[in-house]
Amino acid sequence: MQPDNYEFIDEMLKEERQQTILNEVELHNRILLTDIAEALDVSIDTVRRDVKELDAENKLRKVHGGAISLGFTMNSTRNHNVYKLEEKNKIAQKALSLLRPGSVIFIDGGTTCSELARLIPQNLSLTCFTHSLPVASELLGKPNITVIIIGGEVSSESQTTIGANAIHNLSEIKVDYSFIGTGYVDSFYGLTEFDWDIVQVKKAVIKCSKKTVLLSISEKLNSQHRYKTCDINAINTMITELDPNDQLLNSFRNHDIRIL
């Protein structure tokens, strides 16, 4: 989120401040307390108190570290993660450029993918498969998007469907692009995860996609964990918040990957 330039007023009334916060939440769907505190030049405690009051009045929902709009979507989904939101926003912006009218795509779970879902423009018509509840919620408001949820048992941790049923359902579809996230990525070890069930689903996703696009913040580069989703070669396009020429991406250039 780019902290907007608020009109700088020496003394802001509490009501004004709360109204400003509400406007920001409605505009961006979510805010960070720290951003608001800085933008409005008040202490974080004050913002925290304001948000708490607004929450009590049912004007928004307070979450750890920020607040989210309680608009039509029930993105009241538990803990909205606001970590590295700016980077994720940048990645999602780049990913948008791959979308064409009429495309059939899959969107994975995770905050970066949710951000992509959120940014998809109203006037773009798409068919979107997803196994992520937050992603489905983000997409629901957009009139030109057909949303299809992959059924199955819901993992409360990832808020996605997992398990045999989900994997089976994935085996019966074919999409043009899948946009997936990962816990860890390394040019040698490929994509890895902490959780076994998640790996199985991601494998199924990759299998049902003509092209696979990896969305990952640079922080995850050159890290690995226990269970392997796929080789790095299985990825067709890789998007980070970095400039494509950044040296941090050097080790990925030998592979047949498009880097955005």
Partner DNA sequence: GGCTTTCTTGCCTATATTTGCACGATTCTA
Partner DNA sequence: TAGAATCGTGCAAATATAGGCAAGAAAGCC
The 8-class DSSP code of residue 132 comes to: B
Shortest Å distance, C-beta 216 to its own copies: 22
Rounded CA-CA distance 48/34 in Å is 9
Regarding 246 and contact with DNA (CB under 7 A), the answer is no
The 8-class DSSP code of residue 108 comes to: -
Residue corresponding to tokens 């039509």: 72
Regarding 83 and contact with DNA (CB under 7 A), the answer is yes
Regarding 74 and contact with its own copies (CB under 8 A), the answer is yes
Q: Which is nearer to DNA, 177 or 220 (CB)?
A: 220
**Taking Cα atoms as reference points, which of 85, 103, 102 lies closest to residue 29?**
85
Regarding 68 and contact with its own copies (CB under 8 A), the answer is yes
Helix axes 133-140, 111-119, angle to 10 degrees: 10
Q: Which stretch binds its own copies (CB under 8 A): 64-72, 177-185, 207-215, 225-233?
A: 64-72
Among 1, 21, 22, 33, binds DNA (CB under 7 A): 33
Q: Which of its own copies, DNA, none does residue 33 bind (CB under 5 to 8 Å by kind)?
A: DNA
**Taking Cα atoms as reference points, which of 233, 165, 235 lies closest to residue 200?**
165
DSSP 220-255: GBT---SEEEE-GGG-SEEE-SS-TT-GGGGGGTTS
Shortest Å distance, C-beta 195 to its own copies: 16
Show the site string, 161-190: x = touches its own copies by CB under 8 A, - = not: x---xx--x---------------------
Shortest Å distance, C-beta 52 to DNA: 6
> By rule CB under 7 A, what count of residues binds DNA?
26
Among 81, 112, 132, 237, binds DNA (CB under 7 A): 81
Shortest Å distance, C-beta 150 to its own copies: 5
**Taking Cα atoms as reference points, which of 149, 150, 147, 94 lies closest to residue 119?**
94
HSE of 145 in the Cβ direction (CA atoms, 13 Å)? 27
3-state secondary structure of 133: helix
Residues near DNA (CB under 7 A) are 11-14, 17, 32-34, 42-46, 48-50, 52, 62-66, 79, 81, 83, 219
